[in-house]
């Protein structure tokens, strides 16, 4: 996947949530915990784009062009982040078993006492 410039992302450090701004896609459904959608007439309070302090701050501020995050690129990045987190915690085998099992060292042979 080509590298794409990131779109706006907002951190709520008090609630430990990150908000990614995506273009509307009525046929796309994202599944997961704590995912919220805003529809026509919805709104969100955000700090000014230059604000990078406080409990609510921009990780990647909007640049004024109206550009948003590319859904496919964001989905790929989130999946890869989950794989890395799982690997760090020793549970990666269920997330990416087909293409990463070869990276795991073989278990040493065990011997049993008679």
Residue pLDDT, tens place only, 30-44: 776 777 777 778 888
- Pick the more confident residue, 111 or 71: 71
- Are 58 and 51 in contact by the 8 Å Cβ rule? The answer is yes
Q: Could you give the CA distance from residue 103 to residue 65 in angstroms, rounded to a whole number?
A: 42
Q: Could you give the CA distance from residue 71 to residue 23 in angstroms, rounded to a whole number?
A: 8
- Pick the more confident residue, 84 or 100: 84
Tokens 């919805």 — which residue? Answer: 42
Neighbours of 8 (CB within 10 A): 20
């Amino acid at each position: 996947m080509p590298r794409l410039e990131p779109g706006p992302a907002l951190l709520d450090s008090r609630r430990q949530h990150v908000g990614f701004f995506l273009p509307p896609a009525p046929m796309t459904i994202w599944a997961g915990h704590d995912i919220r959608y805003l529809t026509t007439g919805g709104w969100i309070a955000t700090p000014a784009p230059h604000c990078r302090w406080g409990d609510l701050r921009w990780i990647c501020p909007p640049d004024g062009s109206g550009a948003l995050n590319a859904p496919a690129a964001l989905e790929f990045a989130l999946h890869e982040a989950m794989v890395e987190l799982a690997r760090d915690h020793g549970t990666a085998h269920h997330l990416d078993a087909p293409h990463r099992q070869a990276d795991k060292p073989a278990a040493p042979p065990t011997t049993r006492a008679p």
